Structure 1
């Protein structure tokens, strides 16, 4: 849009974030998302000139879960990309982003350009600004109000993919499923549920059963659903009930043995489960679009087609079991931030470095969950094979100036706690109980922590970075020097 820049769009988008005080008030109230959240999303859709049925032409694969849903989406997208002659444009919507918000809306694997993001952003913004809703039905949608950050981006993704003429799209759920903003999708062509675990309890529930009920909310009438074979039994039972309610089936996908001989594009042995789920989802989608034969059935353990194998090999997904070489140092990055993901990724790190003679460094932060518990889970998976010589606890603030990179501004944490390094000092105190042989540092920001590590002058280092995708994303921005 004339006169508006990408920076203007990002500043406007950041204004839609919920601040820390509002988030805490909602948590303390005990109020969880309900059907009204989806009704409002349908109304926002109307105000930008669409009906939810318009999104059916995107041939959407809808993916939820607790652990691995983003990786599954990336694998699925990469498999579909092998069929370029029939699918010249494929959309991918994921969250959160690492370095730039444009990563959330990709076409053919590439983040939307700044120019297109700005163009489509203001098309949506202006339509919402100039339209209104009946306040008797939508009392929260007062004149001049806008949807929240994630809702706006979800609307933007639909608009972008339709305007760009995408033939198929992969959508990762934000949180949960039943009341998630993406769940206005009426007729997906396949649904997937990655491994379930305990996370976002204030929104989804405190048990696997409650969480599975929420995740199973993406199932739709007559749309085949798939899940991983190692799902917790109580979660699997609920998913089957949800599928029955929606007049469909949910099929557990075996982990394909031939993946043992394939180097997946995302490292970590646990990714074989996500890759298998992705293969089943892509297969169902390609059948639905009549691109491959309708008799194709991966659950009968047939050999993976070469296109599937190539897609799984070529998958790229930054911030997940990612290795970065900088000089003599090797950085091992993963945004793991739940018990299950921390344990899985720590197993990966242990296996790749346990015979390395280099000194070991931990760079960690988790600002909103039980960070002290997470470092215990991590340590239990590492010892006795890996012990850290240096441990640094940092905030997710990007720069020494005290500023965040514009795309990484976060209003959902307590600024006072961040400024006072409250979480970081608590982590250092807790780590000292775990291992008092490590040299401990507390850092005010990621740039400071990076410089600290690179100036240790104690020979080559193996550096493990985990606890938060915001930390990993900020680190990659610092590496870029932007």
Structure 2
């Protein structure tokens, strides 16, 4: 039997998620044990938080990659599953991916029989640790998938650093109904005597992190917003000073990326001697970092902006960032899942949009398109529903003038599909 990529993708996707599954780390620990516990033999920088994990992880990994062999694990992917694990910016090859699935598949099937089923994300996590170990990376930057305490990546006993980005309300059905519960879950990545780098948090979340750090004797490395001097913020780049670092630029746009970059620089500065990082290397690494699907311009005529914002905090950041763009009319392409703060998201987008185009998402938690249209219509009467995502995207582009802005947001998975559509057009 000749196995193509779909064969391997079908197998891993059918592993499913943690819905209805016992919430502990026993399954992935059993899988990793069969693989020789590679996670215990790696230098890991572990990252948790609600928003900004991917951008911060990319800032750190891209900078380290200029000096050493650095692995990066982030999720979800935008276009290809291979994007979730990279070494010095290069995604795992199809051949390597298939080889590791072939290695892991029979182990998983044996574990299934003793009620230790590994989900899609647990398989990806185990595959990543084994891949990075076999490829002899010097260090790896690992982003949690969801939460911290019971996240699959939290099998690392002794990372070289933990980093926590901004914390806000999201995934409340799993992580908790209060900011304190969510913060406690994220703080689960803090380990004994391991330094913790943190984004400036609001007090309830900050108190939880500080308390957990004290319990674990983990030294906190934080920064204050008044240590940052913003010099330029526009639709192409940010420029700022941070402590002794002058004229730092990010090609990732939006003010939030300045703060994410400072969180990354705070950590990189700590490892300056160990990884031979001078100021020039850090500035270059920060500027050349990318993070697809986050305030990313994918077309210039008409101008199309995509952003994976799907919760209250990230939508606020997106709306605030729109002030850096000049446009006559804003056309918003959009869809959202029922378990998100959809009323708030719709209200905020409706205040900005001249027209809203809604479409469908392939997800059991998605709205029926007619239902979503009625909800949006209450806030913005100029709404159009197009079920086919590609046709919806083509409509927003064809309806935009040369001075208009098209914005697609509401779901990372939807944004990933929009990016695929645009890449297809460019390759024709």
> Which TM-score applies when normalising by structure 2?
0.89
- 1:402 is aligned to none
> Cα deviation per residue 1:154-182 (whole Å; 9 max; x = unaligned)?
00101111111111100001111011100
Deviation at 1:285, TM superposition (A): 4.0
Deviation at 1:458, TM superposition (A): 5.3
Equivalent residue for 1:116, pick from 77, 93, 96: 96
Runs of at least 4 residues of structure 1 off by over 6 A? Answer: none
Equivalent residue for 2:303, pick from 309, 316, 330: 330
Where does the alignment leave 5 or more consecutive residues of structure 1 unmatched? 294-303, 398-411
Aligned equivalents of 2:402, 2:119: Cα separation in 1:
47
Q: Does 1:373 align with 2:372?
A: no
> Cα deviation per residue 1:55-94 (whole Å; 9 max; x = unaligned)?
24321100001111111111111111221xxx1x211001
> Cα deviation per residue 1:106-165 (whole Å; 9 max; x = unaligned)?
111122121221112211213333x458x8xxx522xxxx41010010001011111111
Q: Does 1:413 align with 2:387?
A: no
**Local SS of the residue matching 2:27:** helix
Equivalent residue for 1:272, pick from 246, 258, 262: 258
Deviation at 1:435, TM superposition (A): 2.9
Aligned equivalents of 2:143, 2:120: Cα separation in 1:
16
- 2:25 is aligned to 38
Equivalent residue for 2:145, pick from 163, 174, 184: 174
Deviation at 1:222, TM superposition (A): 1.0
| CA 456–352 in structure 1, closer or farther in 2 if over 3 Å, else same | closer
Equivalent residue for 2:390, pick from 440, 444, 447: 447
Aligned equivalents of 2:344, 2:177: Cα separation in 1:
17
Where does the alignment leave 5 or more consecutive residues of structure 2 unmatched? 230-238, 241-246
Aligned equivalents of 1:247, 1:227: Cα separation in 2:
15
Deviation at 1:432, TM superposition (A): 2.5
| CA 459–267 in structure 1, closer or farther in 2 if over 3 Å, else same | closer
| CA 307–92 in structure 1, closer or farther in 2 if over 3 Å, else same | same
| CA 127–257 in structure 1, closer or farther in 2 if over 3 Å, else same | same
> Cα deviation per residue 1:302-350 (whole Å; 9 max; x = unaligned)?
xx81111111100011101101225x20101100000000110121123
**Local SS of the residue matching 2:255:** coil
Q: Does 1:476 align with 2:419?
A: yes
- 1:92 is aligned to 72
Aligned equivalents of 1:9, 1:194: Cα separation in 2:
33
What is the CA RMSD across the aligned residues, in angstroms? 2.3
- 2:85 is aligned to 105
- 1:234 is aligned to 204
Q: How many residues align?
A: 408
| 8 Å contact kept, 2:311–2:341 | no
- 2:57 is aligned to 73
| 8 Å contact kept, 2:333–2:396 | no
Aligned equivalents of 1:249, 1:428: Cα separation in 2:
49
| CA 132–175 in structure 1, closer or farther in 2 if over 3 Å, else same | closer
Relative contact order, higher structure (CA 8 A, sep 6+): 1
| 8 Å contact kept, 2:397–2:406 | no
> Which TM-score applies when normalising by structure 1?
0.79
| 8 Å contact kept, 2:222–2:266 | no
| 8 Å contact kept, 2:31–2:107 | no
| 8 Å contact kept, 2:78–2:412 | yes
Equivalent residue for 1:128, pick from 104, 108, 117: 108
- 2:358 is aligned to 393
Aligned equivalents of 1:377, 1:459: Cα separation in 2:
25
Equivalent residue for 2:269, pick from 280, 283, 292: 283
Q: Does 1:341 align with 2:314?
A: yes
